[in-house]
Structure formats: C-alpha cells, structure tokens
Structure 1
Amino acid sequence: MEAVLAKYENKINAFSEFLEDLPDTKEPVWILGARYNVKTEKSELLSDVRSRLWFTYRKKFSPIGGTGPSSDTGWGCMLRCGQMILAQALLCWRLGRDWRWGQEGGEPVEYTRILHSFLDRKDCCYSIHQMAQMGVGEGKSVGEWYGPNTVAQVLKKLALFDDWNSLAMYVSMDNTVVIEDIKTLCRQPGWGRRRAGACGWGEMFATTNPVEPGSSQTPGKHVTSCPHPHSHSEWRPLLLIIPLRMGINHINPVYIQAIKECFKMPQSLGMLGGKPNLAYYFIGFIGEELIYLDPHTTQAAVESEPGISVDDQSYHCQRTPRRMKAMSLDPSVALGFFCKKEEDFDSWCNLVQQEILKKRNLRMFELVEKHPPHWPPFVPPTKPDVQTTGAEFIESTDKLFESEEEFEILNV
C-alpha cells in the first residue's frame, strides 16, 4: 500500500514541476474578494496567497483510529481542502481578511490557536483524524475518497465542538439558501455563555501565550485576553457552504461567470472542487483561469504540544499559486462564504441578487426568504452532551443532521 501511495505522490509531484509565473497582463487578479494588478501589486498579491493556511498530505502521524492509516496520501486531498476553507473562515473571524503572515513581532496567539486545531493529532478538533472518523457517519470508510458535500457535512458536525469560535455553519440543501433559516441559526440564544473545552487545548490557549520550541520560558498570561466574543452579540459568525453540481460529466460554461462573481465578493472563502481524482482549494481567478492551492504534496506531520509555537513554514505555500482553465473544472463543487456580522450577510444577499440571480438565465443556486413549506422544519443543530469528537459522536447525533445527495468528484 505504501508503495502505491508513493507512486501516486510521485506522479503528482512530477506534474507539479510545470509551474508558471503569473501572466504579465492588465487583467485584474481576484483573490478571495481582493483585487490586484499583477504589474503593480504582485508582491502584495503573493503575500496574500502566502498568508492562507495551506494543508497538504502528511505522513508519519499517529494511526487514525489507533490501527488505521498513518498518512493520507492518495485519499485525503478533499479533506485537506476542507481544512483550508474552514481555516480561512477562522482567520477572517479572529484576525481579519487583511491580516498577513510573517510580519515583524511574531504571530498573534489567535493564529497559533487556529493552527493547532488542524494539526494531525486525534485530540485536535479539525485534524485529519477527526474528519476521517466523522466521515464514517456520512457513509465513508477511513481512507476513502470524499466529495465537496461530504466534507462540508463533516465540518458542520465538528464545528459543534469548537466552543472557542462557535461558528454558525450552514450547508445548503437542494441548491437553495434560506435566509430565514440562516438568521435563526445565527441568532441562537445562549452561545455567549459557552466556553472552550471539548475542541482540544482550548483552555490552555485561553490563558497562555505560546512559547518558542526549546525555550525554558514558562507560558505567561495572555494580557489581551477578553471575554467570549459573543457575550454581547446576537449574531454568531456565519460559515456558509453551498454544494453544487454544475453539469453532468463536465461543467456547464454558463456557470463560469457566476463563479467569478463569487470570488469578487468580500465574503468569499473560495471554492472546493478540482479535476477528476484531484481536489483543489480555489481562491481566485485571472482571466479564464482559476487560481488554487494544491494539497498534493506529502510532508511529515508536525508535532507540537499545548502552548508551544508551531513550526509553521510548511503550512504556507511560498511559491507562485497554480492555475487551471475554468472549463477543466469538475462540475461538483462547494462555494464558501464568511459573514462576521449580520450586515455582512445582508450585503452578501444583495450581491447575490444583483450579480448572480438577476444577470443569469441559468442560476447556480436559489436564494429564498422563507423556509420552503414542503421541507422538514428547520432545527438548528446543538452540541451533544459528550466530551469527545470523532467516531463516538456519530451514532448519537445522526438524527440532528439531514443527509444530502452526495456530490463526488467524477472519474471521467
């Protein structure tokens, strides 16, 4: 099995050697709602891309489930893309869209805490271990391929345990986004009283600053710590995922311009998708090409302990981003958006109406005000009364989550 995975990885890496610089063009480049001029703002553009958390295949982590695989090479690419889109939401929530990695003075404690939640350890909330085991509840065996919709469902379940961020995560059904349901979800009472705990290492980070590896310094109080951010707020930050199928075997070209408009929105988190058997995290476009972060690089798992700074060089893509023709996109995708405040969501709804729905004969998705009467009643999911994530959570909470049609990357 290891030999097969290694051969697969080598083929991916050989393909990846054909890297191109960004084209010398007057056309604007859009990266997650930000517009750049390649001729005059190339360094700013590349700094923006480098600042996104980049999750790739890893090896030599503890076996998933105790006896499962110790590498996700060859099967975990869509899981890694799911980690990237969620991490971007958390960075926007905690540090803002304009935050940049590698500035003088070191990284803020919020950044370190976000990164820790994605490390390849079973006790980290969004680790490959938790995602793979939670996928069992979606009908996926550990080590099996995932589609964009399945990853979204897994993240929605795991987010229930993330008390520090307590994102309201909404995954649309039947290509329909329901405004009433989202506002119900984001206005749930009682979230301001939750505290970090079940999502791993939360209380350690809530009270301490990270310490450099090898340092004899004792973790000290984080002087800028503050009450839970929802204590005086009625709106929980929203992570909106819209799984779509935009064609049968190939993407319908009528949707390409609408995809571009989504990347222009300030609420954009990008898109999950790819080519057959290759999942990518798309973060923008230039002309007729999509720009993406590629998880198909195998790196050694990074070890860290609570309160200790992570060697994060391998978690940022420090090379020119890759591109592919938009028409080469597989039709199964999932769009992502982040709305920190209610007015951000209202603004997103207006943009969708103006740029997506009114200008297109064939709509990518529907945006409706009220819950469809023929649907089951909308019941916001609540955190189960357990102290663990992963496989133990699946059986007791299946009833909380409605299954949706699977959108898998096609073999064509």
Structure 2
Amino acid sequence: MQKWLGLWKMDCVQKVSHGVLPASSEDPEIFTNSDYVVLGETYPGQEQEESPEQPDPDGEARSDTVGGGFFSSLFGRDMSSYTPEFLLDVRSRVNFTYRTRFVPIARAPDGPSPLSLNVLVRANPINTIENYIANPDCFNTDIGWGCMIRTGQSLLGNALQTLHLGRDFRVNGNESLEKESEIVKWFNDTPDAPFSLHNFVSAGSELSDKRPGEWFGPAATARSIQALIYGFPKCGIDDCIVSVSSGDIYENEVEKVFVENPDSRILFLLGVKLGINAVNESYRESICSILNSACSVGIAGGRPSSSLYFFGYQGNEFLYFDPHISQPAVEDTFVESCHTRKFGKLHLSEMDPSMLIGVLIKGEEDWEQWKLEVMGSTIINILAKRMDDFDVSCSMDDIESVDSNLMKKDTNNNENYGVLEGDYVDIGAILPHTTNIGGSEEDDGFQDIHCKNQKIVVMGNTHTVNANLTDYEVEGVLVEKETVGIPSPINEKC
C-alpha cells in the first residue's frame, strides 16, 4: 500500500510539474456536440451514456483517452464520448515522448550536468542516480530538456507518414505497424537513426549553439529538422523551407523548387509568436484553419518551456500529445510504443504564443490549392519575394541629400531630424508596392499595442566610406510610431 501511495504521489508531482492538471479554480469548457478535427479530417462529436470501458475496433479500451477535467487528467478516465473512427485516427498518428536508458549522449564541457533537480523530480530518482554513476558525463535520458525535440520529431514523423503511406493510413494490427516500421525507426534513439534525438542534438549544437541537456526552442528545432532532412534525401522530402520569426512564405523561393521538379515535396516550418504572453484570441480561427487543412502536419507548441504536439481541435480546445511521458528506449517494440490514444485538451487561453507550424506540400497543384486556403489567414502570408530582394542601391550621399536641411538636428527645439546610427527609417515610400503587405495602415490585432506595419531599414555606421543601402537589411516589421520618415518624392538618383 505504501509503495502504491509513493508511486501515486510521484505521478502527481510529475503531472503538476508538466502543467497537466488545470487550475481548480477554472472549470474547463465542455463541447458535447462540437466536431473533432484531426489534421484535416473531421469527426462528429456524439452524446452517449458514459461507457469508459467500451472497446474500439483495434481492441483497446476507451479509458485510455484523456479529457480535459481534473480526474480525467489524473487517472486517464474517459469523461466524454468519441467515435471509434476518431479514436483510431488519433492512435494512428505518430507520437514521440521522453525516453530513458538510450545510447549515452556525451555532456558538453560547458553544458549542463546530466544530474539535476529537474530530472530527479520528473524521472525515477533511483534510475537517474544509477545512470549518473554508470555514465557521469553522459545523458541517458532527455527528461526535463527534450520535449521540444520530441514534438518536432512528432511533426516530422507525421509528415513522413502522410507522405509515404497517405493520410488515410490507420494502425489496425501488426501488419500495419510493420508497414510503417521503416519510417518510425528513422527516429529511434541511436546515433545511426537519421532523425534520432542524438542527431537533433548534434544539429542543434552546430546550428543553434545548443548543448546536450539544453532546452530547444521552435527556431532551433526547425533548423535541426531542415538540416537532418537535407542530410537524408531518402526521407522523400525534397526541400524544407524554414521561417523562424514569421508566417511569411515567398513565392519566388517556392517556384524555384517547382521549376526543377513540379512534383517536389516541400515541408514548411513556420516559427511564429501569436501574442506577447498569451495567444491573441483573434488568431483562433486561423490556427483552426491550419489544423483543418489536408496539408497540415501539426503544430509544436504548448505551455511556456513545456512543449506539446497539437494535431487537432474541438471548439476552443486544442488536442495534443504530451511528450512528457517517459518510456524506456526499446528496439523490438519501438514502433508500437510510438502510438497511443491518450491525448489531452488545452484551451486557447492556456497556450504559449510561440509555436512551430508544419505544412507539407506535395507538388505544384497542392501548392496552388493551399495558397487559396490561406488567403484570409492572419498568420500565414504568401508574398511575392523578400523585401531585401528589392534593388535599393542609393549611396549614403544620396540619402543625406533627401531634404538635407530638414534632416538635421534642431538644437533649439532639442528634436532630432537626422538619420543616426541605430535609427529605424521608414523607406516604404521608395520601395515598389508589389504586394499588399499588412493590409490596412494600422494593425490593431497585435494585442493592445497600436502598431504600424512598415518597411524599415536599420541604419548602421553612416560614416563608412562607399557605404550604400545594399549593406543594410530591409524587412517588414511591426513597430511603434517612432520611425524617422523619409519625405517622398525622393531624390531622382535613387
């Protein structure tokens, strides 16, 4: 009895540390009749008498599913009804979680220690101490630091499953597991597997200055995925286009890929931040539209410093797999261990605004159709080309000649009319208007900050000899109204 209570307490501590248990002061909304969406597939919600032990066609009990309530999160009981088709689809998606006792990853000399309080709380302390004694300078588990890598693996794994087996693939026995085994084993926790935790860590160290044991963010995860895809062409993805700071996609970059091969498969990884401390409610419809697309391969997001893999939604709640459930590193049953019907629900208001969106495009026709889907999106923008591709080749002498008398400092009024180093200069008037970027002049959808979508250039050392504007990066950003204006029309030399 005491042993059981000890295990129960440890489970509670882990769930609290991962934020699985919702605050008791807030009752989650219940959507009894709302449809469920799973990566572009829609399933009707149904009202039935509670029957938590009713089996699925795949032979597992419904009690494996996790709803949104307190006891549901704690004990994994089914508090609502799901169709067998929905549950089978959920179980068929690939899900990667924490692992223990895998091939050791050497600690970096200037990196974190494998033995930490965070790992002791979240893992079995005895196993952790045993591993530390056996390999004091190695990581034998990613508990406490690998959750973003695991959700990145889930995103990539579901993209590859869809690419090779189709979206209608279902896990319904050993034969189907064998069919996808080659794909899933690419993610096994060994240095030889192309998409293993070990290789994510190696790519993160090289590209993002991440040490083993350090938590990845969306940008580091996206860069690692891109590098690993390029290093393993056999995976079938021809190109991986990454944006680590926006949902902007540039048509000229995509068209270059299709010129070489109209049937190219492209994975888009879009790192976005949809608010300051929480997701802005105005983005809800666009997030749902992304997950409801046939091109969607999910979103790696979650709570602050606690990543989750979102694969669908119901009403205002988003459905996710939780990577914070540790499993032993296994070879024989690895593929089977990457499937589960246990999922959680998270309200939009609880989501972290930083997330990594995955979209898989299979050929030029797919691309044209998807462009129409996202025309009204407040998150994804299809632009003609990058603004730093524009030819803005004015010398610094030309810039200073633009109303030179005005662009000087008025010492009497203590106002600065000059262009100083570090100034944000609005050069929208002199750039070609090939696309409608940002829509209206004011953008009130970015929390409560009234910002202006401007094309700006950050001025560096204006005294450098032979300096010209091609030395400075031009980009569209949201800034407050503190930019230095350039009168229009400008000098004809520009």
Asked if these proteins are the same fold (TM beyond 0.5), I'd say yes
Task: Give the match for residue 38 of structure 2.
Answer: 31
Alignment of 1:136-147 (within 5 A): 136-137=205-206, 138-147=208-217
Q: Is the 8 A contact 2:302 2:308 kept in 1?
A: yes
Task: Give the match for residue 454 of structure 2.
Answer: none
Alignment of 1:331-410 (within 5 A): 331-353=353-375, 355-356=376-377, 363-374=378-389
**2:177 counterpart SS class:** coil
How far 1:45 sits from its partner (Å)?
Answer: 0.6
Cα distance change on mapping 1:249 and 1:336 into 2, 3 Å = same
Measure, in 1, the Cα distance between the counterparts of 2:37 and 2:370. Answer: 17
Choose which of 175, 178, 181 in structure 1 pairs with 2:250: 178
Measure, in 2, the Cα distance between the counterparts of 1:238 and 1:129. Answer: 24
How far 1:332 sits from its partner (Å)?
Answer: 0.5
How far 1:276 sits from its partner (Å)?
Answer: 1.4
Cα distance change on mapping 1:130 and 1:72 into 2, 3 Å = same
Cα distance change on mapping 1:251 and 1:21 into 2, 3 Å = closer
How far 1:145 sits from its partner (Å)?
Answer: 0.8
Which of structures 1 and 2 has the bigger CA Rg? 2
Measure, in 2, the Cα distance between the counterparts of 1:375 and 1:86. Answer: 34
How far 1:160 sits from its partner (Å)?
Answer: 0.8
TM-score (structure 1 length as normaliser): 0.70
Alignment of 1:45-194 (within 5 A): 45-65=86-106, 67-103=137-173, 105-109=175-179, 111-137=180-206, 138-167=208-237, 168-172=239-243, 174-175=245-246, 176-188=248-260
Matched letter for residue 12 of structure 1: Q
Q: Is the 8 A contact 2:265 2:363 kept in 1?
A: yes
How far 1:140 sits from its partner (Å)?
Answer: 1.0
Measure, in 1, the Cα distance between the counterparts of 2:28 and 2:385. Answer: 47
How far 1:64 sits from its partner (Å)?
Answer: 1.2
**1:26 counterpart SS class:** coil
Measure, in 1, the Cα distance between the counterparts of 2:10 and 2:273. Answer: 27
**1:102 counterpart SS class:** coil
Cα distance change on mapping 1:187 and 1:126 into 2, 3 Å = farther
Task: Give the match for residue 239 of structure 1.
Answer: 267
Measure, in 2, the Cα distance between the counterparts of 1:278 and 1:173. Answer: 19
TM-score (structure 2 length as normaliser): 0.59
Measure, in 1, the Cα distance between the counterparts of 2:190 and 2:390. Answer: 38
How far 1:288 sits from its partner (Å)?
Answer: 0.7
How far 1:125 sits from its partner (Å)?
Answer: 0.4
Q: Is the 8 A contact 1:186 1:237 kept in 2?
A: no
Measure, in 1, the Cα distance between the counterparts of 2:259 and 2:177. Answer: 32
Coordinate RMSD, CA, aligned: 2.6
How far 1:169 sits from its partner (Å)?
Answer: 0.8
Matched, 1:286 2:314: yes
Q: How many residues align?
A: 311
How far 1:374 sits from its partner (Å)?
Answer: 4.0
**2:228 counterpart SS class:** helix
Task: Give the match for residue 359 of structure 1.
Answer: none
Post-superposition CA distance 1:309-341 (Å, at most 9, x none): x4433211133x210111111111111111112
Measure, in 2, the Cα distance between the counterparts of 1:375 and 1:97. Answer: 40
**1:107 counterpart SS class:** helix
Which structure has more relative contact order (CA 8 Å, sep 6+)? It is 1
Q: Is the 8 A contact 1:8 1:74 kept in 2?
A: no
Measure, in 2, the Cα distance between the counterparts of 1:317 and 1:148. Answer: 24
Post-superposition CA distance 1:162-202 (Å, at most 9, x none): 121241111125421112202323554xxxxxxxxxxxxxx
Measure, in 1, the Cα distance between the counterparts of 2:290 and 2:279. Answer: 16
Measure, in 1, the Cα distance between the counterparts of 2:185 and 2:350. Answer: 34
Choose which of 8, 11, 14 in structure 1 pairs with 2:13: 11
Query: Which structure 2 residue ranges, 5 or more long, are not aligned?
Result: 1-8, 48-81, 108-136, 392-494
Name the % identity: 29
Task: Give the match for residue 317 of structure 1.
Answer: 340
